[in-house]
Amino acid sequence: MKKNINKDIFKASWTYDEAPESTDHIQVKKQYELYIDGKFTKPVKGKYFDTINPSDNKKIASIAEATTEDIDKAVKAARKAFKSWSTLTGKERGKYIFRIARLIQERAREFAVIESLDGGKPIRESRDIDIPLAANHFFYYAGWADKLTYAFPNRNPKPLGVVGQIIPWNFPLLMAAWKLAPALATGNTVVLKPAETTSLTALKLAEIIHESGIPKGVINIVTGAGKTGAEIVNHPDVNKIAFTGSTGVGKYIQKVTAGTNKKLTLELGGKGANIIFEDAAIDQAVEGIIDAIFFNQGHVCCAGSRLFVQESVADTVIQKLKSRMETLMIGDPLDKNTDIGAINSKKQLQIIENYIKIGLNEGGEIYQPECILPKKGNWCAPTLFLNVSQSHRIVQEEIFGPVLAVQTFRTIDEVIEKANNTPYGLSAGVWTEKGSKMFYLTQKLNAGVIWGNTFNKFDATSPFGGYKESGFGREGGLHGLKPYVKFE
């Protein structure tokens, strides 16, 4: 049958109507307190700081700042709760964790909006990725709570005690879930600190935790900046520190915990290689490159921030990549059309802008699509750097923004050497039609996570973690239980 095609349609310039997510259904209080020993508690020193909406830099709420005395109270509450929580049957512990998972699902829309308001990420991502995955982690580890003897047959796993957990701002609720769920399932009690710029969903989570009826003191949520984190790390009665954040702070934590009895896991930075071979499905690979670097404004530890394209297809890939970048929508994080939201903080924007300057000064060739950035708030256009080499700082250092360094290669050996030539070892992506090539590379690449013909896919059942300066310890899957148990 002949189709009637209106040819004028292709000449029109396409725009989308705004599709903002409603904020009517969310409740944000003016002021948030600490969650210690099952109560919302004012900080001892009475100090508060502002949390800001990065898309307009307006204040959203005041957040309590925990200092030495508050951390001590939280650790004492967790120590007291450990006695009964660690001896509760796994089945009982699992019930509470399942309940938290279900409550997250019930309030998913509210969580998604608050995550985007407070952190700047597109609502499409918080709605479809962050919040469902957070619930997924609680569900998954709730299932392990009464099966630990199967997870570690004949080894009698025991909890460690009080665990201090410190998380970053790029996936606020999801990182809280990655930390809390396995610790609780294995019978530990917790003092958790979210990042200063994104405390709101962790505090909303505290409300759910309270509603779940979990015994008081099992989970304590304390807010504040780096100093508050350091108080947790240095508290003498903490048995383990689980940290996700920058390599710099990770090194500091490793130093100060050395020689103590504290166990440690570090999930740190990355500079992932995304490798496109000439036999790859090019259009899918281009979509994968976009997802690898522009997902969550590039604020992703495992972002594919270094692109390696085989020379024979480089021109095609780069041309297709540029035209795909022209179609990316940058703006209001609460608009359902938005692909790239706001940069999380002024400080992070300065870091990214500084790297763009460094890239230019070192002779890189920049490409940014034409786009109108909103006047208020923190924004950065998606950026490519061509004509760069291994020695460029923007190729070696983690930028944590929407900036991609593009290089080419001719042979497999060459790309393996280049991909492994950074201090990091967190993630990589390989795009090829050949399974044998894929498996060969997964053996040769020094990265904790390697995706094949896809990128940035996460699941609670799958372990995640790094090599080299990307840290040690695994989160997710059966592997994620191990850092929270000892064997007798």
- SS3 call for 2: coil
Interaction partner, residue 51 (ligand NAP, Mg ion, none; CB < 5-8 Å by kind) = Mg ion
Select from 21, 70, 110, 118 the one that contacts Mg ion (CB under 5 A).
118
Interaction partner, residue 65 (Mg ion, ligand NAP, none; CB < 5-8 Å by kind) = none
At a CB cut-off of 8 Å and minimum separation 6, what does 35 contact? 41, 203, 206, 209, 210, 219, 220, 221, 222
Rounded Cα distance, 471 and 145, in Å: 26
Rg (CA), the chain: 23
Min CB(184)–ligand NAP separation in Å: 19
- SS3 call for 60: strand
State both tokens at 468: 């080299």
Residue 75 or 309 with smaller CB distance to ligand NAP: 75
Instruction: Please report, as ranges, the residues that interact with ligand NAP according to CB under 6 A.
Output: 166-170, 193, 195-196, 225-226, 229-230, 233, 244-246, 249, 252-253, 267-270, 301, 398, 400, 426, 466, 470-471
Min CB(197)–ligand NAP separation in Å: 7
Interaction partner, residue 100 (Mg ion, ligand NAP, none; CB < 5-8 Å by kind) = none
- Size of interface with Mg ion, in residues (CB under 5 A): 4
Min CB(256)–ligand NAP separation in Å: 8
Interaction partner, residue 118 (Mg ion, ligand NAP, none; CB < 5-8 Å by kind) = Mg ion
Residue 188 or 197 with smaller CB distance to Mg ion: 197
Annotation marks residue 267 as catalytic: yes
Interaction partner, residue 303 (Mg ion, ligand NAP, none; CB < 5-8 Å by kind) = none
Rounded Cα distance, 164 and 234, in Å: 10
Q: Which residue is nearest to Mg ion (CB)?
A: 118
Rounded Cα distance, 192 and 351, in Å: 27
Q: Could you give the string, one character per residue 189-208, with x where binding to Mg ion holds by CB under 5 A and - elsewhere?
A: --------x-----------
Min CB(167)–Mg ion separation in Å: 14
Residue 169 or 277 with smaller CB distance to ligand NAP: 169
Told to check if 51 binds Mg ion by CB under 5 A, we report yes
Rounded Cα distance, 50 and 359, in Å: 33
Min CB(440)–ligand NAP separation in Å: 25
Min CB(337)–ligand NAP separation in Å: 26
Of 470, 471, 429, the C-alpha closest to 305 is 429
Of 422, 321, 403, 418, the C-alpha closest to 357 is 403
Interaction partner, residue 126 (ligand NAP, Mg ion, none; CB < 5-8 Å by kind) = none
Told to check if 115 binds Mg ion by CB under 5 A, we report no
Interaction partner, residue 333 (Mg ion, ligand NAP, none; CB < 5-8 Å by kind) = none
Interaction partner, residue 116 (ligand NAP, Mg ion, none; CB < 5-8 Å by kind) = none
Identify the active-site residue in 110, 196, 231, 301.
Answer: 301
Sign of CA dihedral 446, 466, 460, 90: positive
Min CB(248)–ligand NAP separation in Å: 7
Residue 252 or 367 with smaller CB distance to ligand NAP: 252
Residue 197 or 212 with smaller CB distance to ligand NAP: 197
Rounded Cα distance, 405 and 388, in Å: 7
At how many degrees (to 10) do helices 172-185 and 90-106 cross? Answer: 160
Residue 32 or 85 with smaller CB distance to ligand NAP: 32
Residue 118 or 231 with smaller CB distance to Mg ion: 118
Identify the active-site residue in 65, 110, 196, 267.
Answer: 267
* Angle formed at CA 168 by CA 163 and CA 169, multiple of 5 degrees: 140
Min CB(297)–Mg ion separation in Å: 14
State both tokens at 417: 């050497």
Separation of CA 160 from chain center: 25
Residue 56 or 459 with smaller CB distance to Mg ion: 56
Burial annotation 101-139 (CB, 10 A radius, 16+ → b, else e): bbbbbebbbbbbbbbbbbbbbbbbbbbebbbebbbbbbb
At a CB cut-off of 8 Å and minimum separation 6, what does 163 contact? 183, 188, 189, 190, 191, 238, 239, 240, 241, 242, 484
Told to check if 126 binds Mg ion by CB under 5 A, we report no
First to last CA, the chain: 74
Catalogue the active-site residues. Answer: 267, 301
Binding site for Mg ion (CB under 5 A): 51-52, 118, 197
